[in-house]
Structure 1
Amino acid sequence: MSAQKRAGPSTAAVSRKRVNYTPQDVNEVLAKVAELTKDIKNEPEVALTLSDLALPHAYCEVVDKDANAVMDEIEATMLRMANTIMQGQGFEFNVPSRTKTNQMYVPQLDRIVLKDAMGRRPFSSTQTCRKAAITARILSLVHQLCIKRIHVTKRDLFYTDVKLFEDQSQSDTILDDLSCMLGCTRSSLHVVASEKGVVVGRLTFVEDGDLINCSKMGVGGKAIPPNIDKVADFQSDALFILLVEKDAAFMRLAEDRFYNTYPCIIITAKGQPDVATRLFLRKLRSHLKIPVLALVDSDPYGLKILSVYMKGSMNMSYDSSNLTTPDIKWLGVRPSDLDRFNIPDQCRLPMTDEDVRTGKKMLEEEWIQSNPEWVPELELMIRKKEKAEIQALSSFGFQYLTEEYLPRKLAAGDWC
């Protein structure tokens, strides 16, 4: 296709061709979404778990535990350490391995899980003594938090012993190790991430006794609480949840009050999803039983971000049962949308060699193969070596996303 043809019509021409989705057309636009919502509400309550499957090997999965249960696990661990020290054997931690080779994709559950291979962390080894010391120190700190029944951020935890930890990434990694070792979710350790995700739209909930109305939070939205355990009583008349990759797109949707015209809840983690946003999304989807439609960049990294929400991350595969929302639908921006919506050449970015390698590697992933409609989209992206951000839609006007692109996609049921 020539550059002239692909560049698309002028802004004035686009305006003449637009379908004006006025309020009386809303039911028509949302007809297919309503059908999807009805199907979800009719789904059976019972879902498969790992224990239901006859897998050829064992696995490591965690559950929510209260403060007393976590303290019991820590105390039992330290008693074992004390016994081995008194016997002159020193001490070591046996920690589940979180390497890629110890992870697997389970098609029946449509998510990544952690197998049961273990790693030794002896204090007597020069290679692991520092990690063993950090592990013991964080166990002590978590025990204190459980006694006091308080929560701190990961940053707070790091600053309790900066000289030992040296870098926050090291204390963060040990926290994940401890979740696996103690068999509990990371939130059970009373250590949370700083607020990152935000939500706006047709949703009310109770947070630690306070009623929150997400339609009254302005264009910035309501910060998703880092402690999801204190969130309860979701109420909504939304037909769907719109999961948005970028903060800029979220702000456009919030400022245009997109949720008032098309009843929905809008969520973003402002890029790579954090634990709180993933937990919040799963809890929201489970309680409301409405579809989740995703709006991400048309590039391999947009899909990788989407995969974390859907299948889980390598770092936290041990907690995938609590963090994943497997049935998210990919609404856009899809590679096929670039020509369908006449995205101009100047708004399409050439894929780098690294982009192409990442895309090809993703095509080999089982979770991509399990979504047959995704394969031709990714193949098209790699073949044309073109990518585009959500903001490319602004070439037709700043409100093109809310007034034209999303209504047309929703009306056509154009998701996969």
Structure 2
Amino acid sequence: MSSPPAASRKRKKAVVNKADDLDIVMKKCRKLKEELRLKASKSTSSREEEEELGEIPPGIMEVTAMSTTEVLEGIEAIALSIASQVMRCNPKGFSMEIPSRASSNQVYVKAWDRIVLGSKRSSRSFTNVKESRKSAITLRAMQLIHAVLDKRIHITKRDLFYTDVKLFVDQAESDGVLDDVATMIGCTRSNLNVVASDKGLVVGRIQFEEDGDPIDCTRMGVGGKAIPPYIDKIENIRSDAEFVLLVEKEAAYMRMAEDRFYHKYPCIVITAKGQPDVATRMFLARIYNELQIPVLALVDSDPYGLKILSVYMSGSKNMSYDSASLTTPDIKWLGLRPSDLNKYDLPEQCRLDMTENDIKTGQELMKEEFIQKNPEWMKELEIMVKTKKKAEIQALSSFGFQYVTEEYLPRKLREGDWI
């Protein structure tokens, strides 16, 4: 009897065991994990105590997670306030008061190591010609959000836009007011149940339940699991990982996933495919807070790689009002760092010339408080700006396609070479 053709044979999944040198390689990472947990156990100071010490500017505006019912009541309270103004026939017209999200109202709080929203507020009038259209868009968005919450469903930002294309005209218009609505109510943007499409990916040694369905990220294929935009539906997170590997580029992430790096050195691998989205940032923050394991970042050796890392750590100015749930403190910069280019003898053809815009971005980063607080980050940026050279993570493939998983990362972990 002839054997079945090769194409019809079921391919068995390759078994990847823990690395033989696991205990040696992970020694410093395990020490970092213990330091992290010790620090968390000692961190008992309250916001009131920090304000008394003068570490937090007065009047900081921060939103909190709310239930669907609370958000619905918040929208209804705003609607009643506007109706009340109309009924009083105020000669000055009627308006909405909104916390200002202007750059001048963005405040970096060193004690929290993140950007937050200041105390300034602005008024959006319905009778002012310049503001009437924006006011109409804001109210229409609130009406649609109320309907979505009332049905207990989620929609995408694109769905919201197509509900009233004639009014919104451009999706940027409907997207922009979502942050305004969240700050007016005092809830997180995810509480509005209007989400962006899937972007982030996770693979490795983590299990959880998503809306009641069990998810094991070691059994999701080489592509891993898409991080859902509704993080509130994720529960019962479990893991035996020693650390989280945060990767800037999808290509590098795919290398980790295909090589099953997370089995050799137990970890969770996450990517947002570049600039991080809200869901990935929130998912990472939850993992960090619930599992209390170190987060090590692998980004390009250029100003944008560091800028992306700073968004994960200190937040973005656009969503400074929700930085508490979107930031992950004390992420370690593992690589690819400017000092690595010489340390690992990266070939000259893999070192790219920085553009004038790259250099300008690097110089601007050196002026930021969240960069200046870390002298070692400053040294790396100085090397980058001085040499005017940058490199991508993929440049390490010049030593071999699997060099990053078989040589570079194990050496980095063994030496504790992170800052």
TM-score by length of 1: 0.93
Deviation at residue 33 of structure 1 after TM alignment: 0.6
Length, aligned pairs only: 396
Alignment of 1:134-145 (within 5 A): 134-145=137-148
Q: 1:240 aligns with which of 233, 239, 243?
A: 243
Alignment of 1:97-116 (within 5 A): 97-116=100-119
Distance 1:357 1:401 in 2: 30
Q: 1:23 aligns with which of 19, 26, 32?
A: 19
5+ unaligned residues in a row in structure 1: which ranges?
Answer: 1-21
Tell whether the 8 Å contact from 1:92 to 1:120 is kept in structure 2 after alignment: yes
Is 1:304–2:307 an aligned residue pair? Answer: yes
AA aligned to 1:310 is M
| Partner SS, residue 23 of structure 1 | coil
Q: Provide the residue aligned with 2:125 in structure 1.
A: 122
Q: Provide the residue aligned with 1:341 in structure 2.
A: 344
Q: Provide the residue aligned with 2:68 in structure 1.
A: 67
Tell whether the 8 Å contact from 2:75 to 2:146 is kept in structure 1 after alignment: yes
Is 1:255–2:258 an aligned residue pair? Answer: yes
Structure 1 pair 114/86, CA: closer, same or farther in 2 (3 Å)? same
Q: Could you report, residue by residue, the CA deviation over 1:270-312 in whole angstroms, capped at 9, with x for unpaired residues?
A: 0110110011000011111100000000000000100110000
Is 1:403–2:400 an aligned residue pair? Answer: no
Q: Provide the residue aligned with 1:42 in structure 2.
A: 38
5+ unaligned residues in a row in structure 2: which ranges?
Answer: 1-17
Q: 2:50 aligns with which of 48, 53, 63?
A: 53
Distance 1:91 1:392 in 2: 58
Distance 1:380 1:69 in 2: 50
Distance 1:163 1:111 in 2: 38
Alignment of 1:5-404 (within 5 A): 23-45=19-41, 46=43, 50-54=47-51, 55-89=56-90, 90-404=93-407
Distance 2:357 2:161 in 1: 33
Distance 1:132 1:269 in 2: 33
| Partner SS, residue 170 of structure 1 | helix
Q: Could you report, residue by residue, the CA deviation over 1:220-246 in whole angstroms, capped at 9, with x for unpaired residues?
A: 110011111110111111100000000
Tell me which of the two structures has the higher relative contact order, counting C-alpha pairs closer than 8 angstroms and 6 or more residues apart. 1
Distance 1:250 1:389 in 2: 13
AA aligned to 2:376 is E
Tell whether the 8 Å contact from 1:48 to 1:109 is kept in structure 2 after alignment: no
Distance 1:259 1:47 in 2: 33
Distance 2:79 2:21 in 1: 65
Distance 2:220 2:397 in 1: 25
Deviation at residue 44 of structure 1 after TM alignment: 3.3
| Partner SS, residue 228 of structure 2 | coil
AA aligned to 2:40 is P
Distance 1:91 1:371 in 2: 48
Q: Provide the residue aligned with 2:14 in structure 1.
A: none
Q: CA RMSD in A?
A: 1.4
TM-score by length of 2: 0.92
Tell whether the 8 Å contact from 1:49 to 1:109 is kept in structure 2 after alignment: no
Distance 1:287 1:43 in 2: 14
| Partner SS, residue 404 of structure 1 | helix
Tell whether the 8 Å contact from 2:19 to 2:265 is kept in structure 1 after alignment: no
